[in-house]
Amino acid sequence: MRILVCPDKFAGTLSAPAVADAVAEGWRERAPGDELSLRPLSDGGPGFVEVLAAPVGGQRMPVRTTDPLGRPVDAEVLLTPDRTTAYVESAQACGLHLLSPDERNPKATTSYGLGLLVLAAVEAGARTVVIGLGGSATNDAGAGMLAALGAAPLDEHGAALPYGGAALAHAAGLGGVPMTRGATLVAATDVDNPLTGLHGASSVYGPQKGADRADVLLLDAALERFAGVLVKDLPSCPPDVATLPGAGAAGGLGAAVLALGGRCESGIGLVTRMIGLESALDAADLVITGEGSFDHQSLRGKVVAGVAGGARDRGVPCVVLAGRVSTGRREAANAGVTETYSLVDHFGSEAEAMERPADGLRELASRLAGQWSRQ
């Protein structure tokens, strides 16, 4: 039997490759003769570089950068063998997981560390830099990234602004030309929000980053002002950058990429293409996917929805393993999901599910092998 294992990460506990490995170990304990194909996935958020490392087959170059509050943190740039294309992950420098809950403050957090990663990629010779966007703690429309690239936002007196989204309410210009050496930037994201407005970065994602209602209004106005600065000072910036799909991704980092003449591309589409997911689905007898929380958002453009839909179109059963499951059975079935299993239900407690996710996945996979394998 041919089993395709293609999960997303379990946020806060396991990376996508670690999830896939645990599932494979559990299945092989019960059915060692089956053929398992592992294709861990990412939509551009945390784990983007790790998932692409194997199919790219290039060099993982370590880079010392900074987190959303300016503290040192280790990250990496993934370079293709010919070093012409680099892949970086915004979450390694701007990720929400890098902050404790009481440190979350999108008025002050910065994307400066991502700029250092892009700079390292360009200095390494990359002509194209693909930036995975997702899971960010920032809401500064890439102002910090631009500062690291040599184009710091300035106030009306020509002084550099403090880091963070709130300071952009006083933005009047940029203090230099971004040092991208002519490289093309690509934002890999599955978020199509504009930069500002009711569906913009501040309104939709600000609250989960620590913003209250007053903060959201302040930040939205600040980003609108900064969008005008981008249009004014960057010749490559589209005049309607604030309203373009994807501009609001990762706290507005999408807008900065677009302003630098870059483009937005589907993160999950890019990853599935690079790992050969379509051909792997064609060959599978059973698909196992999963994520930390299988809920209503999972069926709206997330990794699991894409995998389940692909399996459904081929008439292949698809099983979801998740930390917790809150999606209704009928809704899941309509999306192509055959069965769902929850670590919380398996252990009987959320605390144990968080402490022992790999053990739980191995045990669930072994149970699945007993039910599905032909051995």
CATH number, domain containing residue 32: 3.40.50.10350
pLDDT recorded at residue 301 = 62
Do 180 and 79 belong to one domain? yes
pLDDT recorded at residue 127 = 98
Domain that includes residue 158, residue range: 48-268
pLDDT(298) > 80: no
pTM: 0.90
pLDDT recorded at residue 100 = 96
pLDDT(375) > 90: no
pLDDT recorded at residue 190 = 82
Q: Is 35 helix (H, G, I), strand (E, B) or coil?
A: strand
For the segment 252-269, what is each residue's pLDDT rounded down to a tens digit?
999 999 999 999 999 988
The CATH number assigned to the domain holding 176 equals 3.90.1510.10
CA distances from 330 to 77, 188, 322, 338, 339 (A): 42, 31, 17, 10, 11
For the segment 183-192, what is each residue's pLDDT rounded down to a tens digit?
999 999 988 9
In the chain, the number of structural domains is 2
Evaluate whether 5 touches 24 at the Cβ level (below 8 Å): yes
Give me the sheet containing 318-325, strands edge to edge. 35-38, 2-5, 286-294, 318-325, 339-342
CA distances from 83 to 113, 184, 219, 319, 330 (A): 21, 14, 38, 38, 47
- The secondary structure element, H or E, covering residue 286 is strand 286-294
pLDDT recorded at residue 191 = 87
For the segment 299-355, what is each residue's pLDDT rounded down to a tens digit?
766 788 889 999 999 999 999 999 999 988 898 999 899 999 999 999 999 999 999
Do 127 and 180 belong to one domain? yes
Do 213 and 87 belong to one domain? yes
pLDDT recorded at residue 305 = 86
pLDDT(297) > 90: no
Report the pLDDT averaged over residues 269-280: 94
Give Cβ neighbours of residue 251 (< 8 Å, ≥ 6 apart): 94, 106, 111, 136, 137, 138, 139, 140, 141, 165, 201, 205, 209
pLDDT recorded at residue 43 = 87
Do 225 and 307 belong to one domain? no
The residue among 247, 268, 289 that closes a domain is: 268
**What mean pLDDT, rounded, does the chain reach?**
95
Do 346 and 233 belong to one domain? no
Report the pLDDT averaged over residues 1-8: 96
Do 261 and 307 belong to one domain? no
For the segment 213-252, what is each residue's pLDDT rounded down to a tens digit?
999 999 999 999 999 999 999 999 999 999 999 999 999 9
Q: Report the candidate in 25, 50, 274, 325 with the shortest Cα–Cα distance to residue 3.
A: 25
Residue 304, both tokens? 């699991």
Do 187 and 283 belong to one domain? no
The residue among 227, 248, 268 that closes a domain is: 268
Do 202 and 173 belong to one domain? yes
Do 109 and 6 belong to one domain? no
For the segment 14-34, what is each residue's pLDDT rounded down to a tens digit?
999 999 999 999 999 999 999
- The secondary structure element, H or E, covering residue 276 is none
Do 285 and 310 belong to one domain? yes
For the segment 86-135, what is each residue's pLDDT rounded down to a tens digit?
999 999 999 999 999 999 999 999 999 999 999 999 999 999 999 999 99
